[in-house]
Amino acid sequence: MMKQLKLNKKTIMFIITLLIISGCETNLVTDSSTSNSIKAPINKPIIISSMLFKKLVNEELKIDLNEKSLESQAYQTVGLPVAIVPTALKQAILDHERDIPTPSSQKMGVLGKCQFIGTRIELDDRQPTAEWLVTPDNRCSSRSPNKVKTYWMIQKAQSGKLSVLIADRGKTLSIWKKDKAPLRFIMTDIEITQPSKFTKKPVPVMCHKSWTYISGKYVSKYAGVEVYKDDPMSPYSQWIPVSGTDSLTNIDENFQCSAK
């Protein structure tokens, strides 16, 4: 005859807590074979708390797409961790790339095998919608020698429809606070090197591109180039905007960094 299992009060409360937690989680990973390949949160709901929403609204966001900790649990943007994105977001990206390929990005056959990571961002400061910044993880092949990565900004409308708002390549992104425009202003940077006119040693060069939401879509614009060099007005080297022709390198104000 089997003995009756006796559970004390603490054990019963622990089991109930586990059941409640497991029932509240929203799983963003539909392919269990990839769930352990990145040490990032895999059970993170798309709907964020009102406190985190306010932080997203009130703070600017800057992300280095090549940050080593980007794919770890330690990396957070305004309290929001980077996570493996849902299959629906990845499919929206693949559909977009099939119709409008991003220049210098990986081929469709490669992207389809990549794992995508992303984080919640805020572009319109409205809770009925949700925006994501998504990029392939660093194991995705064809990494750029200039550490440039493809990224996508995706919006989920109140109706549930997913739209790719921006598809581009860059190294760092800055999402400014919202102004009078319907969606936020965005700056992207690419950093490369150019040889010095005098020593032939590599000199850091940074190119900027802006994204402005105009007439229902994001429009990009070249936003200048800077060279990291000695500043005659300071004892330190600084990023100095190029106006006309640069005195240290063979570039001018119209120079654009390669996104390859």
Q: Which residues are CB-contacts of 190 (< 8 A; sequence separation ≥ 6)?
A: 146, 148, 169, 170, 171, 206, 207, 209, 257, 258, 259
Give strand pairing partners of 117.
84, 135
Give strand pairing partners of 196.
249
d(CA 15, CA 154): 38
The per-residue pLDDT for 27 is 31
The per-residue pLDDT for 18 is 36
The answer to whether 14 and 57 have CB atoms below 8 angstroms apart is: no
The per-residue pLDDT for 72 is 72
The per-residue pLDDT for 47 is 58
The answer to whether residue 7 scores a pLDDT higher than 80 is no
The residue ranking higher by pLDDT, 127 or 48, is: 127
Listed as own residue / partner, the contacts of 180-186 with beta carbons closer than 8 Å and 24 or more positions apart are 181/212, 181/213, 181/214, 182/124, 182/213, 183/123, 183/124, 183/213, 183/218, 184/122, 184/123, 184/124, 184/125, 184/213, 185/210, 185/211, 185/212, 185/213, 186/153, 186/210, 186/211, 186/218
Q: Burial-class residue 24 by CB neighbours within 10 Å (0-12, 13-18, 19+).
A: exposed
The per-residue pLDDT for 152 is 96
The per-residue pLDDT for 98 is 94
Q: How many CB atoms lie within 10 A of CB 105?
A: 22
- What's the mean pLDDT in 89-112? 90
The per-residue pLDDT for 142 is 59
- What's the mean pLDDT in 116-128? 91
Q: Please write the tens of the pLDDT for every residue from 129-169.
A: 999 999 998 788 656 788 899 999 999 999 999 999 999 99
The per-residue pLDDT for 144 is 78
The per-residue pLDDT for 22 is 35
The per-residue pLDDT for 8 is 54
d(CA 61, CA 72): 18
Q: Please write the tens of the pLDDT for every residue from 208-255.
A: 999 999 999 999 999 999 999 998 888 899 999 999 999 999 999 999
The answer to whether residue 186 scores a pLDDT higher than 90 is yes
Q: Please write the tens of the pLDDT for every residue from 28-85.
A: 332 333 333 334 434 344 457 888 888 888 889 999 988 877 777 677 777 677 888 8
The residue ranking higher by pLDDT, 39 or 104, is: 104
The per-residue pLDDT for 73 is 65
The per-residue pLDDT for 155 is 96
